[in-house]
Structure 1
């Protein structure tokens, strides 16, 4: 007796209940695999925010704090780095290049980053991808600005449009540098990194807009025009942090130790990869909690299937007795119930995977746009396949309970019909 056609016909005969069971499993599988895929893609995007930089240097605080404000533009620095210290570290024979970063201002809630033109060639993300311009070019005038893709998309900015930088980091600011407007010289292509939500200007521009300011406020009775400011000495006095590349990777730990022991002022040098791992470890608890919730949803779906199979056993005693009468042994009854559970689980998994990729296809753009996470529609990873296998095994295991009950009923009933 072939069990597969028999199991299929049995499920078709109870198609409404079977369909609900399949949908329940499909939704739970979609949630489980969706959380796993977004988690893994978020981690990949997170880890690839910066690449090709050997050290990040800032005022002494903590590695995670330095990484957060210098790269992710979250929070503020505990202190600044003097321009003299920056120049001394840059002059080290092991150093190949440096890119300074100055933070503290904003534009309509987006971070303003003061830097040098080298930022556009030295900053890499992902697998050493370089920054690419969608339009325009790097700044070459004091009052030029380059904006990220997210800034351009949300604010509808285009080339040569004028913008005003605000003092501080508030989304709404009442203290603006209106006397020194900037012209948008370039718009960067989307990267999926914090650069997308940044307004980049030169270090000289940072000095120019604050040249008639002191202690975070405009100096009373002193107003210096934009043109006059350009003629003044705009050498920075301090910066927030700087990125550093080495001529040889062998010198990384030695230079890191020298910077951390720097006597002129307390500095901290961190390796981006190690700091990223430490930061991800802090948020790993939330990621594990999501996976646990998803697993519980899958278990609830399998329990629903178990309940449906068990509750129909009494109604199916006649069916089992007829199968016995045509020569089916109790183990065949057992196998039939297990196979039905396996079929329901497999159909639920297939439908759940289809739901997942369909949902990701529609949500891919918004997720990248709003959260900077690039979700690739690639084949399931080994971990995802393992989760699918566990769900399938769970479905088969759940089918053993009703199968064992049907086996026992079959032995007890024999060929008698219990109506």
Structure 2
């Protein structure tokens, strides 16, 4: 792709975001969640804004499970910071989410228009985000994804900026620190990690001075169970059709299974997450051959592995995967193109699961269970394919046989 499609891509962004805003206005329709999607912002986020405005984090609220960096993000739409005066909290939140979305798009367009790069990443993000309907505009995961995307795209220009952005993203929702995993060992990697540690420490110190109990979220994270949309939740949903007596309850901000063996499934998920981390570290140690896309591909692979092994797979997690897939597609060297296709397909199914058919999923009916099974099978396939392609692309190249390195050794002599 060349520079010529840029105006068309900008027009596509405007059209698709107008469509998402229209869907947001129709949020109360039963097929779009009956008001449940936007309730997160005007109900929960606005409530937390009131608590944060008082100088403390929601200490005794089991729904608060986010690192302290989420505080400034949730404060930004309100009048306290004065970023968008005159707007209600809900409208200001949506406006700031669109600003973060536009920032991601602009960064992908700028990088994609450079020589030897591709605008496919920008096109993927522009067309991929609306696959999640109005949901991205009512969650702050677009803002988090913006920090991760900018960190990856800054890597070729400034390891300091990359590390600082990754640290800020990790303080908001932890996972952006994974974007550093694919950096080649050496001075650049040390610089990025040092800036990540330094920026993270400085930002955490500043937040600790401004807010009370910044690390209280860790208590609530430890008590989480198995969300119905997770891989373990899919197994329990299938088990309910075989007579398993578990039930679904609203706990820790999500619909979770409760009943016999749930804690065992949760422990198994944690063990799989640990195994995924081990695989990624093994890859990092053994990787020898790298391409310009390796940091991008590794970031997508890492987040995919941590997503599929998690006890929770909320629909907004797909925003992360769409953003990282888009970054991969800006490079002509990426090996994650089929993975990006699977992520897009899983995003479509995620929208069908939530909000369209969420009642069926909560009731563990056969249609709801089938939707979960298919979506999570796509994500599991994407994770396995991503790691396999990453491993084979970066493994050491075996030396050529002597006959191929020195053809003259085996060629007949001429006299």
Q: TM-score category by the smaller chain? A: under 0.3
| Max Rg structure | 1
How high is the TM-score relative to the length of structure 1? 0.19
Q: What's the TM-score, normalizing by structure 2?
A: 0.20
Point out which structure has higher relative CO (alpha carbons under 8 A, 6+ apart). Answer: 1
